[in-house]
A and B are shown apart, each in its own frame.
Chain A
Amino acid sequence: MLISADREILQIIGVTLRMSFFSTTVSCLAGMPLGILITSIDFKGKRTIRKIINTLMGLPPVVAGLIVYMLFTKYGIFGSLGLLFTVEVMVIAQCLLIIPVVISLTSSVCSVNGKNLLETSKGLSFGKLKTMRLFLSQNKTALMSVMLTAFGRSIAEVGAVSIVGGNIQWKTRVMTTAIMLETNKGNFEFALALGMVLLLISFAVNIIASLFAKEEGQ
């Protein structure tokens, strides 16, 4: 089934990649600037916010899935949008899980040289946007690792996506939920093969990222 590139498998891989791409992109676009802001700006309640973010890093995926499910269910606040059991809502649930991770890791990465870099930037009277650009360009390689971590968390996640996506065939079934289904059916060999494909995808993404990092280094 895998070797013959079954249509359903290809569709599952497609949905997995689409979901992981969007959840990683949205999480990084939202989380990285917030991580930089937390490092570079002193404000009241900074410690509390850090604690909240660190707590959210440990948010169980099923709880995140449940929260998003309740928000998007027919009688939920966003029920009228009709997004439940779609890839879009799976992306939203994943963002809830990944954004705190990205914020926290970005903040750690930027705090290594953050104080001196911020002083240099302030000394040159750079605006907030230019300071942000500076932080991003100074920490490109480390931020690439943050992005890979986000992608890894997204592609391997199962709890939240199965709750809000419903594991619907030809629609919201992704690699992890397919593996879970096949395991429950007793198709261990096929589940293992799917797991191998998942690992291969992760490996390919890592190779591409390391090529980018190498280019940066040169």
Chain B
Amino acid sequence: MIKINNLKKLYGERTVLDIPLLEIKSGECVVLTGHNGSGKSTLLKILAGTVKENEGKAISEGKIYYLPQQSIPFNKSVKANILFCLDGKRKIKRELCDDVLNAFELKQFENKSAKTLSGGECQRLALARVLCRKGDIILLDEPSSAADNKGRALINELIKQYCEKTGCTLIMTTHTGEFPKISNLRIIELCDGKIKKDSMTGEINDA
């Protein structure tokens, strides 16, 4: 569960985030939308702990994993990138790694250097690295922004499958208007750091 109380973030004198109250229940899937500079990424960064808020609090329960917009591919092979993120015994890690590579359609690149992947493939790898860690709360900042239509559909499908399988809490940002087809998806629209709309899928067109 995530609870936000009077959260404020300022860059200089500019208020980039101002959320008086927001609650996200365990297992809930939330999409943050809004134009550039609306505060979507800042909110995720505060929840992930990479940026500090100026006022208020964001309390969360559970292990958080966060995929930043500028996630860097490690200077290793695709397979080694996944292995580096897995914990446990070597044999188990290898088996898990194969499953992840197959699920994310990265098997054919497993021995290729991650630096040579295309933008979309790189994002898939970055997503695979985060999801293979198996967290309670997953924060994804524009996870499919560099992918083409097919790649975006695949990434959204993978996110959907993961959420349905694990029951994790998901918060992701997007400005493309495409989200995973998860039932009861909550859509929060931010504008100038404030919540403009908070609705469930189905209600969005009416709001």
Contacts and interface: CB of A to CB of B under 8 A. Distances in A.
Interface of A: 113, 116-120, 122-125, 134, 137-138, 140
A120 B71 contact: yes
Interface size class of B (residues with CB under 8 A): 20 to 34
A123 B135 CA distance: 11
A165 to B, nearest CB: 40
A134 B76 CA distance: 10
25 contacts: A113-B72, A116-B68, A116-B70, A116-B71, A119-B70, A120-B70, A122-B48, A122-B66, A123-B50, A123-B66, A123-B68, A123-B71, A124-B65, A124-B85, A124-B129, A124-B133, A125-B64, A125-B133, A125-B135, A134-B74, A134-B84, A137-B75, A138-B72, A138-B74, A138-B75
A138 B115 CA distance: 11
Contacts of B70: 116, 119-120
A119 B50 CA distance: 7
A140 B139 CA distance: 30
Contact of B50 (A113, A122, A134, A137): A122
Nearest to A122: B50
A125 B85 CA distance: 9
Interface of B: 45, 48-50, 63-68, 70-72, 74-76, 84-85, 126, 129-130, 133, 135, 139
Contacts of A124: 65-66, 85, 129-130, 133
A140 B50 CA distance: 25
A120 B75 CA distance: 13
Given A120-B72, A123-B139, A125-B65, 14 more contacts: A116-B70, A119-B50, A119-B70, A120-B68, A120-B126, A122-B50, A122-B66, A123-B50, A123-B66, A123-B130, A124-B66, A124-B85, A124-B129, A124-B133
A123 B67 CA distance: 6
Contacts of B133: 124-125
Contacts of B65: 123-125
Q: Which of A113, A118, A123, A137 has the most CB of B within 10 A?
A: A123
- Give 8 closest A-B pairs by Cβ, nearest first: A123-B66, A116-B70, A119-B68, A120-B71, A120-B72, A138-B75, A116-B72, A122-B50
A137 B68 CA distance: 20
A43 to B, nearest CB: 13
Given A116-B68, A116-B70, A122 B75 contact: no
A75 B84 CA distance: 52
Contacts of A140: 75
Contacts of B66: 122-124
A119 B65 CA distance: 11
B130 to A, nearest CB: 7
A134 B75 CA distance: 9
A138 B71 CA distance: 13
A122 B126 CA distance: 13
Nearest to A138: B75
Given A119-B68, A123-B67, A125-B64, A137 B49 contact: no
Given A137-B74, A138-B72, A122 B130 contact: no
Contacts of A116: 68, 70-72
Given A119-B50, A137-B76, A125 B71 contact: no
Contacts of B84: 134
A110 to B, nearest CB: 12
